[in-house]
Every structure is written in C-alpha cells, then in structure tokens.
Amino acid sequence: MAFLEVKNLSQTLGKKDILKDISFSVEAGQVVAFLGPNGAGKTTLLKTVVGLHPTKNVAQKGSNQILLAGKEIQNWPVHKRIEEGLVYLPQQTSLFQQLSVQDNLAMVFEYQSYWKKYTKKDFFHERDAWLEITDLTQTLKQKRGHCPVARNVSLKSYARCLCILKLLC
C-alpha cells in the first residue's frame, strides 16, 4: 500500500483551472520530484494535498481522492494531516529568523507527530547526529537570521529530514 496516493485530483483557484485529473502514489521511503515551469501547478498540487487548498466534493467516485496510508484524508483539516505524518515545507524560508537554530529544531519535536513516541533525549540524540554529519553543530546557538545563506539551506533541509522520518522509515 502506498504511503500517499492521489487519484484524479483537480483544483480550481478563482475561475482558473490549475490541476486536472492528477494521479500519483508515493511509497514510504520513496523520493518524488514534481518538475515544471513557473505556473505549472506544482505548489498548488502540494498545498491541495496537505489541505491548504480545499478539494471540491465531486460526485464521481474516485475523483479528488487523497489517501494517506490507505485512509481518505481529502476532507481532513490540515492539523490532522500533519499529525498523521504529512508535512509541507515551502521553498521560501520556513525557519523563524528571531529564534536560534536550536529553538527552530526543537519545534519539530514539539509539533511533528512522529516524535510523540520518543523522548526529548532521543530527539536530541538524532538531532546531534545529523548536525555532526552536516557540520552544523556550531550553529545551534546562533539566531537563524544570522546564519550564512548556505547554512540556512542546510538547516532547512535538515529540519525537513527530522519532519519526514515517518516517511523514510
């Protein structure tokens, strides 16, 4: 069974049809990339899947279906989708500038359901191991806004990894 499955998803924003009958599935641990020019609907697709753009109820069976681990979620609120392991981190800066790197990463522990079954000590152990691998340990106390651009990219990628461990396991 696919971790995430989208069946015949269509989306209209305003009066403009953005997506039409998009279908795909993602297995746990699989990496998928959506490629296309600006305006092709990549962001709209992802925002629709996570619930930031609601889907329309369609009379046809099998249309606008979004399944997460076999459960239909297209009518679920965003917070419930996140609790079940679906995460969306946009390309734009998704870390809080005024918080330290350490505090930004601690938010992952507090709000990502994957970590609910683990202790904070387990989280810190995993966090520290990743920081060592990425050579970012010295940035923990820095305010996110004071990190060089290359380090910000690495930190956002790292935070994404901590968020999606449920997908990778």
Q: What contacts 44, CB < 8 A, 6 or more positions away? A: 11, 13, 18, 19, 53
- Name the nearest CA neighbour of 51 among 9, 113, 21: 9
Say what the pTM is.
Answer: 0.61
The Cα 60–Cα 106 span in angstroms is 43
Residues forming beta bridges with residue 9, ordered by sequence position: 22
The Cα 27–Cα 11 span in angstroms is 24
In three-state secondary structure terms, 89 is: coil
Domains and CATH numbers, the chain: 4-83 (3.40.50.300), 101-168 (no CATH)
* The pLDDT of residue 165: 47
- The tokens for 63 are 């249309």
* 34-79 per-position pLDDT tens digit: 888 989 999 899 989 988 888 876 546 778 999 999 999 999 988 7
* 77-112 per-position pLDDT tens digit: 887 887 787 877 666 555 566 777 777 777 777 777
Phi, psi of 49 (to 5 degrees): -60, -40
Amino acid at 156: K
Asked whether 67 and 130 are in contact (CB, 8 A), the reply is no
- Name the nearest CA neighbour of 69 among 121, 103, 132, 113: 113
